Structure 1
Amino acid sequence: MKSKTVILGFSALLALTACGGGGAPAPTAPTTGNQAPTVAIRSMANQPLTDKNFLQPGASLMILTSDDDVVKTVTYSLAGPVSKAPVQLGSVEGKNTINLPPDLTEGTYTMTVQATDSQGATSTGTASFRIDTTNPQLVSVTVNGQTVGSSNISAAGTAALKVVAHDTSGPVALVLTEGQEVLAQNSNELNFDLARKKDGSLREDGSYSFMLTATDPAGRTTQQAVNVTLVKKDASSGPVEQVPTPTLQVIGEGPFAGNMGVNASANIGPSSQLDKMVLVVTDSTGRMDSQTYVTTQANQTFSVDTTQFTNGPVKLQVFAYTKGGLEGASPVQSIEVKNINAPQISVVAPVDGSTFNAPTLPVRVTITKRTSYFSFVSGQVSVELRDYRGALKATRTLDISNPSTCTGDTKATLTCNTSFDMADGDAGIYSVTASTSVNVDGLGEQRLSATSRFTSTVQNASAPANNIILPIRISNDGSNVAELPSATAKLPVLNRGSGVMVHASDNDGLKYVQVRFLYPDGRPVNSYLLNRKMVDVSETYEVVMPIELDGSEYIPDGQYILQMTTEDTLGNTNIQEMWVRVDRAQRGQLFKTEAVFTDARSFVNGQLTHSSGAWGLGCSDKTVDATTEAGSLTNCASLQADSRVIALTYFRNPEGVTKVVGRTISPVTTAGTSVISRVGFNAEGTYWVSWLVQDLNTGVVESISGPELAVQKNSNQ
């Protein structure tokens, strides 16, 4: 080891210096930083493991470790359907072969290996794989249509073996042997005429034994013996069928990218009928495609998508199958594939177009190498949650080196996981977009992005909004509702002429709005000032004027809590409270009011008699033109103190239905200001203006209503 060499050399120099009795000073030993050990988990073929690898219980794996110092301990553990506690290896540094426990059940497992060197530096490696405990299934094994069992099958002329196999873990490798000789092999399906030898020549009559072996990706096998007795073919049945001799020709010269053309010919004999012709493509990683390029035509030009295969050498071979059960294969032809393309990023959860109903949305993103090598630019993956408008609701930045969020191979397939809280959002359509930047060999920096749209049916758990608009606090006294204010606290004051105004809203819809008094100890006064049920209403302003203090539920003078409660249609509730003082003797500013039409009377058929009017708070007189009926307000008093003024415009239609058609809230109207409210008319009926005024010095609230103005629609009939 490097560090050992430095220490030994230093010791030798010290010894020589001591013998010399002086001379040059002893050299200083160089220092090196201790690096954590490297850890890798590999298959026995020295390949990385992923959750796409299938293994058997008891299978062997390699653990590779190295260090610039000395690896002292190596432990490994398993997590999955059957978890195993950490096991310490006997030998440590270098290559260690371990056998998986024989009692593992089917499922996905994660192995964690931890290595520690002599200086205490530790590193951890993980790998996932799947355990398969089920043997592949031979779905169908027939000779000339007869199911193969333990007894011999007699065949005359042709002994067409047809095999279909299946396994949940992936393709099944089928191999037909006679003794030690391999006669035929294929994936999932196999056809072979047992009446012929491997070279296509006819066998002599007699009994023959063959062995069919099916192997799944985990290495589990199923075998079936096939015993056949061949007898002479009746000459009257026609000529003997011949084995096909298919050929292939690649169009153009390599290296190939994108789509590549391959001409294939079955070359069957005149006594044969073609069942199918298959072009099998196998890349340098062993990935085989025998399902995509299939035809029932004797001559076919296949368009092969080379982007589905790893760059490098790719093998092509054509197989032709006759309806008599004969199989022929072309010579293998190798070509070079060289595609330059970026990896693929996908949002695999939530699934695009899906519906989701849970408070937490799990998100899974994969980045998968296609053909070209790549590396991450920033080492981060950005994930955004947006609503149907495209407005950003939340974002996550995932570190690809953090194993708690991202696992896999950063140069092959990487899986990253995160989540979003949907409980405070509205039901509706959302989108999740994942993006990152990578450097691609031959392309440079590329931006990757993928989006998945889904529908959330999670109901919003947010309470409705509500607020007591009037009265308002005029000091910090009573700001803590949990504490009883002092007798001299400066609180809002309500008397027989006072009113209150509240506002409530909710995105789903309101169920009710309630306003009531509470005694200082929290007990409710039985009667509500307001108890309004809502139907299809999402926002409301509610006014109570004047407040009833002297009814059957008599409210003595004193301190109370004014409480406002709202509930939405989903059952979410919001309560707002404020300390107030009831004092009948304390009065605020008292005003006279007047109202006039501000435009000349109209006599045009179908028009309103007047289109506008004005109401004056504190105006005691008016002047009106006898001809036009238009007037002006006179002798208008001003506010004596800074005040909060709310003007409410009421309208009553000819059927007697009254509603508020306008409101103006002036948070602070300074003393000395005259209050004039101007209103435009747009329907036949009666209009008037009422005011809520709170003196910001004394806190007293008064409600004042102005006179009514009636408007008719002209009719000359």
Structure 2
Amino acid sequence: MKKLALLSLPLLLAACGGGSAPGASVVTVTADKTTVTMTPTDTGGTTTFTFTNKAGSREATINSATLTWTDPTTKAATTQTVNVAAFTLPAGLTCAAVAANPSASCNFNDAGTTYGDRTLTRTITNSELFGKVLAANPSVTGLPVTVQFNNANALPFTFTSVAASEGGGVVTAPPKPAIIVNNSSYQTNPSTPISNTLSVTVSAGAAAGVGLKQLILEVTDAKGIVDTTTYSSTQETVTFNIDTTKYPDGALKLRAIAIDALDRRGETANITTVNVANQVSPSIRLTNPVNGGEVTGITPIVVQFQQNNTPFTFVDGKTTIEVVDSGDRIITVQQADIVKVNDGLWEARSQIDLNSPQYINGTYTLRAKANVQLSGATSASTVMTASTFVNKSRVDEAPALNILMPAYYGGSNTLRPVLTRKSAVVVQASDSNNVRQINLRFVCNPAEVLPGQNCNTNVYSYNIPVNKAGIQYRLFNTGVLMDGEPYLPDGYYTMRATATDDTNFSSFREMKVEVNRAKNGIAGLGYNRATTFELAASKLTPAGAQWQIDGETVNETRIIELFYNSNADGIAREIPSAIGIDTSRAGGSAITSGRVVFPAAGTYATSFVVQDMTTGVVEFYDGANIIATPKP
């Protein structure tokens, strides 16, 4: 027959508790005395109890006691339950932390944790524990009373009550309230700072047989403000959880006040002082513009700071205000002085002009921040807030805007087009009102640069006046402009085109591009040459012309053909009179305008902007002007 291995008690308890967890609670209790004598005027007597949670037991909460005795007159069994200040017996585990803090919890899975008895001692006033026995037996000698705390073992007591008389009647003492701070850090060292929640148990200490009208925990903060209304009860014993973040850092003074049914008042003999230290940053908020509100024109900005429970100072006396558009681009950065309004309140004021060209109609985010030094903190911290507003300064629709060339390539629409010394950019804008101007700029983002690239602080920007309604095409000859002043270094940029109409309403489009002068040239292509021809029936000489780029493409290309007619929009290269787009021309193709027959005397030209869809290079092939005149 096989023999089963023997299991120790801790292992059995652990198994019953499920896996490696401690098992059911096994609590034993002893008392420093077995006899209690009370008088109605003597409520200061105490009994000390020692509670032990056996090795391998789960943690247990002690919060009540059941007292049982036999009524001397009726011989009936009597049971009364009283509430006591709740406390928790740690699980039957021991570890290094227990040496410094008997209440410390031990994690079963931590190294060094073993099964072991855990013991805590609590002193309870006799009036709190035996008050109901005294009230039911105002004059009794040697009454056997059994006391059992929760599920612990029962303890036998011998109770004697002695009535004090004065003038022929029984005289009872006024309440003698008591305070117990439950935070373990305070119990270990009362000078230890408390943050967040402070747990306080208050006992009224009313005389046996006398009811309680009100029990108050009076709280006085570090500024001397007294609170006697927040923490109040009609129970004999109550635990209050105090949110210390609502009080200034510093000394928090506690006093218990009890009023019994006879309107007699009692208070704790000594003040209990707790050191509060939360280090809560001041509140910051934007009071104008209102979050989510609609604004127009010149708009005030108001930032408010309010001290909470921790004193502080502003590091530099200024707040930083940022206005950010819907694409998370910073439009405006301002510094505003912070001015004290009254104790605990500061303000910073500024303003923005939403009629300015950089502000188009739409939603913006307003951000404010400031650096503060909290009292007691070793380093400065930053407080910040944000809100949104909608700009309604413009009264019309924004122009429609598109970047036609360059284009993303490579199939993923993420590869950056490449601009060289021969490149150009073509945009299309349209509006029922006049499009006043189109602006092109290149912005360097330090977070997106090529190795060795330094962001130029001078933003490359170029405007083309339009002053026309309807659909407008414009060409920016970036290859000519990028070597000027300011110089546009090679590297990665965000290219932004902005169209603004006569009502100052704007819209923009962006594209990430690479500027690389070393990549001049598109494989297979040469110069844009013009060939004229005559027609006998024509009244003009020459009668027409054809523009064609020498050679043939090697890779797939995207082509924009730009037509110029002095009888329409002039002959300036940035203002084509019409365009044609071929979004995909196969490799091995010629690029030609076809034969153009001139409709009237004037100056004509056809230019091409071509992008190699393999390398991403964009180049401008300018066509020569051809002047058509009447035949003699």
Q: Fold-level match, TM-score > 0.5?
A: no
Q: TM-score range by the shorter chain?
A: 0.3 to 0.5
Give the TM-score normalised by structure 1.
Answer: 0.32
Higher relative contact order (CA 8 A, sep 6+): 2
Give the TM-score normalised by structure 2.
Answer: 0.36
